Structure 1
Amino acid sequence: MVAEFKLHRRAVLALLAAVAACSDPDARIRNRIDTGWHRDDLEALLLHWHGHALRPDGSFQLAFDRAWKPQPQPELELTGQARLVYAFAAGHEYIPDAGYLKVARRGADYLLQRFRDPVHGGFFYSVTPEGAPKGTAKRAYGHAFALLALAEVYRIGGDVRYRDAALQAWREIELNFFDPAGGLFNECERDFKPVAGSRTQNPLMHMFEALLALREATGDKIAENGARRLGDFVVNQLMQGQAEGSAHIPEWYDEAWKPLPTQAAGGYIDLGHQFEWSHLLTTGAVVSPIYAQVAERVLSYALASGYDDIEGGCGLKAFPDGGKTDTRKGWWQQAECLHGLLVGAKETARNDLWRRYEQTQELIKKQLIDAEYGGWRAADVLPCKSGGCKDVQPDPYHMVRLHQAALKLASG
């Protein structure tokens, strides 16, 4: 009798789900997203970081071993501090009773009080544990995360101080970091004199991400125009099309933004970043409809060049001169792979992408979620049992971005 009841109940639930899907086509998409796992992992990550990372002055301890024992932290770097501000602000949207917004605001205040340069503007690369300037260089990568953090704290909390600080930060970035070719200098001296050297797409990608967040938070045309400026530069100048129609974005360039041509010269295509670009460009369709088409091409390249259709997940690097793909699997690349698959599957409704989403999620559950200590395993090379994992806690930025996207898509 109990078995008959269970079968009847399942049949009723299946019928109700089918009816709901007919009246609400997006329900099919929401039903394929494992919202329970995304929410549970988000809660677990932030619970651990909240329990261990908070310092009395509003900054964060970021260096821990796998068992959450604090490790020496001789300086506080802008990137890591800003990423944790973002993570707590984003977490508040889904876990509003945990006090995360207060933590994010204190962290944002610390960025503005201790990292901001009162003389030349912008943000120092690092400060001492006591909050005094230490690394006074200005790096575009760190500025991108400071901008993302301020935009997210404003979007979630609505305090105009952070909106104004974010818009001011972008004005200073736009004035000082753009090089004549249209990209960003990697690094400048304290007075924003550019430091000579090669270029990388990584700061552009995260600045594009931060500007999309700033546009969403404020609706400001300045942010939209900035995202379009960077996106167009990447799509029109950096992206390399393939004969079969896919495309990729190389990692390193010379000072004229010509991609380094060979593996021996330092040229490669970061596969995790291809998945990351695919979901960012899809989101960026709000500023240019062409970005969605480009996103599909980049995702196609990432799948063909780096996806493991046997076990799920993606490798590390492909090479412009046809060298053998580095198929080793690192932790953050798997987070971005899953993020790209999720957004691509939602956008295109392709069943093969949903299958890969489920496959890669299982890989992450089995290989990266640390059931013993909490957090994720810091894998340079999976599996951890073969010795490819560090005894550290990786910061939760990539994971929080992934779970935030999943829960937002699931909510419609």
Structure 2
Amino acid sequence: MPVPSSLSPSLAAGIVALTRHYADTVLPLWRAAGWNEALQLPYEALDDRSGRPLAAVRYRAMACARQLFIFSHAGPADAARAEALFASLQRHFGDGNGAWLYSIDAAGQPLDSRRDLYTFAFVVFACAQYHRLSGSAAALELMRRTTELIEQRFADGQGLYLSALAEDFADDGAPVLQNPIMHLTEAYLAAYAIDGDAWYGQRLREMGQALLARFVDPASGCVAELPQGEAGNRIEPGHQFEWFSLVMGAPALFAGSALEAALRRAFVFAQRHGVAAGTLGVSAALAADGALQDATQRIWAQTEFARALAVEGSAQSLGTLALWTERFRSRFLHDGGWHEVLGPGGEVLRADMPSTTPYHLLGAYQALQALIERA
């Protein structure tokens, strides 16, 4: 591939290397060893040395939905796998009316029947993506039914949503948390892009205002994991980068908003306090003042940093991104796949490769590839 004139040769080469590793190493893991043919589901995780499935304890609807997303984007040769995942999502986890189980056991029987907002959000997201790429009318209908149920059941009456409910949708005391709201934002953005219903745009603006009021630290602009003022709160740098990419990627909805202004400050704060200068490794958690709380480095946070740098797009960010591609590849990727969690010194802290991680890799690589396409 020729080097784009507006990108440095090192950045262009780094992007090519990352996307090649994804196509040649990551996706094949889930086409073969990672696929449970009997259940027509991806295994939850593979061993990061042998590439063999780890002993199955559960299968989650969210993991199935994330794999539906990645295989929807994998191309015509993988259309049958995407179709199988869409069918399995409904057969194993759905009730036909937009309600979803959290998980099933290794034999395919219900394991955790709670109603989990994070799961519902990923179903909306995956159905929107699958419809966009396949034209499936069934996926569009399922996306709409799930959205209706989210609004009817999970809404907390204050502009946001409870993180979970009992199987019968009764309130069982689960709190409002930022992470499922972030992924619901992602899901509604995907739904808005393919549906065009102005309701999604209005709801997203309202969610942004409620998030700003309840979760955003006025001092730093960061979105905390818990509502402001709650004990045990923390800032996850990876989530600042993820929120930044979502909001900056939807200027028609958020340009000029107070949430956009806050997240621009959060981007700077998270990079200053949560990214190691030498390795560009993103730490897991900070205190509100920027003090390091958890120095472990999870791969998803690294990819969200890269996506945010690409979306921000300044010369400084692209320079950092060129260094990031090199350091990320040498620290987190290997010939058999990837390392899920590293210590700050590069020590491998987990030996599994979850089926959910390619969703983060693909999201980052799409943003990086867009840089080449725009050059």
In the superposition, the TM-score normalised over structure 1's length comes to 0.82
| Structure 1 residues 70 and 328: CA distance shift in structure 2, 3 A | closer
8 Å Cα contact 1:64/1:392 also seen in 2: yes
Match of 2:221 among 216, 226, 247: 247
Whichever residue aligns with residue 91 of structure 2, its letter is Q
Whichever residue aligns with residue 353 of structure 1, its letter is S
| Partner residue in 2 for 1:200 | 177
In the aligned structure 2, how far is the partner of 1:389 from the partner of 1:74?
21
In the aligned structure 2, how far is the partner of 1:317 from the partner of 1:85?
29
| Partner residue in 1 for 2:320 | 356
| Partner residue in 2 for 1:366 | 330
8 Å Cα contact 1:284/1:292 also seen in 2: no
| Structure 1 residues 292 and 249: CA distance shift in structure 2, 3 A | closer
8 Å Cα contact 2:125/2:190 also seen in 1: yes
In the aligned structure 1, how far is the partner of 2:122 from the partner of 2:360?
12
Match of 1:394 among 316, 329, 354: 354
Instruction: Show structure 1 runs of 5+ residues with no match.
Output: 1-12, 19-26
Match of 1:42 among 3, 18, 22: 22
Q: Are 2:59 and 1:59 equivalent residues in the alignment?
A: no
Q: Tell me the alpha carbon deviations over residues 285-321 of structure 1, each in whole angstroms, 9 at most, x when there is no partner.
A: 2322225444322211211221223322322211126
Instruction: Show structure 2 runs of 5+ residues with no match.
Output: none
| Partner residue in 2 for 1:7 | none
In the aligned structure 2, how far is the partner of 1:320 from the partner of 1:292?
19
| Structure 1 residues 276 and 322: CA distance shift in structure 2, 3 A | closer
Q: Are 2:264 and 1:300 equivalent residues in the alignment?
A: no
| Partner residue in 2 for 1:73 | 56
The alpha-carbon deviation at position 333 of structure 1 amounts to 1.3
Q: Secondary structure of the residue that 2:334 maps to in structure 1?
A: coil
8 Å Cα contact 2:281/2:344 also seen in 1: no
| Structure 1 residues 324 and 110: CA distance shift in structure 2, 3 A | closer
The alpha-carbon deviation at position 127 of structure 1 amounts to 1.9
Name the count of aligned residue pairs: 365
| Partner residue in 2 for 1:232 | 209
Match of 2:111 among 113, 134, 146: 134
Higher RCO (CA 8 Å, separation ≥ 6 residues): 2
| Partner residue in 2 for 1:106 | 84
In the aligned structure 2, how far is the partner of 1:226 from the partner of 1:103?
33
Match of 1:277 among 218, 243, 247: 243
8 Å Cα contact 1:278/1:296 also seen in 2: yes
5 Å matches for 1:312-323?
Answer: 312-320=280-288, 323=291
In the aligned structure 2, how far is the partner of 1:377 from the partner of 1:104?
26
The alignment yields a C-alpha RMSD, in angstroms, of: 2.4
In the aligned structure 1, how far is the partner of 2:117 from the partner of 2:305?
24
Whichever residue aligns with residue 266 of structure 1, its letter is G
In the aligned structure 1, how far is the partner of 2:15 from the partner of 2:278?
24
Between structure 1 and structure 2, the one with the greater Rg is 1
Whichever residue aligns with residue 338 of structure 2, its letter is W
The alpha-carbon deviation at position 354 of structure 1 amounts to 1.3
In the aligned structure 2, how far is the partner of 1:172 from the partner of 1:369?
39
Deviates more, 1:129-138 or 1:60-69: 129-138
In the aligned structure 1, how far is the partner of 2:190 from the partner of 2:370?
14
| Partner residue in 1 for 2:166 | 189
In the aligned structure 2, how far is the partner of 1:42 from the partner of 1:69?
18
| Structure 1 residues 29 and 205: CA distance shift in structure 2, 3 A | farther
Whichever residue aligns with residue 113 of structure 1, its letter is R
8 Å Cα contact 2:43/2:53 also seen in 1: yes
In the superposition, the TM-score normalised over structure 2's length comes to 0.89
| Structure 1 residues 281 and 62: CA distance shift in structure 2, 3 A | same
| Partner residue in 2 for 1:335 | 303
The alpha-carbon deviation at position 210 of structure 1 amounts to 1.0
| Structure 1 residues 259 and 157: CA distance shift in structure 2, 3 A | farther
In the aligned structure 1, how far is the partner of 2:192 from the partner of 2:9?
25
In the aligned structure 2, how far is the partner of 1:408 from the partner of 1:161?
30
Q: Secondary structure of the residue that 1:393 maps to in structure 2?
A: strand
The alpha-carbon deviation at position 234 of structure 1 amounts to 1.6
In the aligned structure 2, how far is the partner of 1:367 from the partner of 1:193?
45
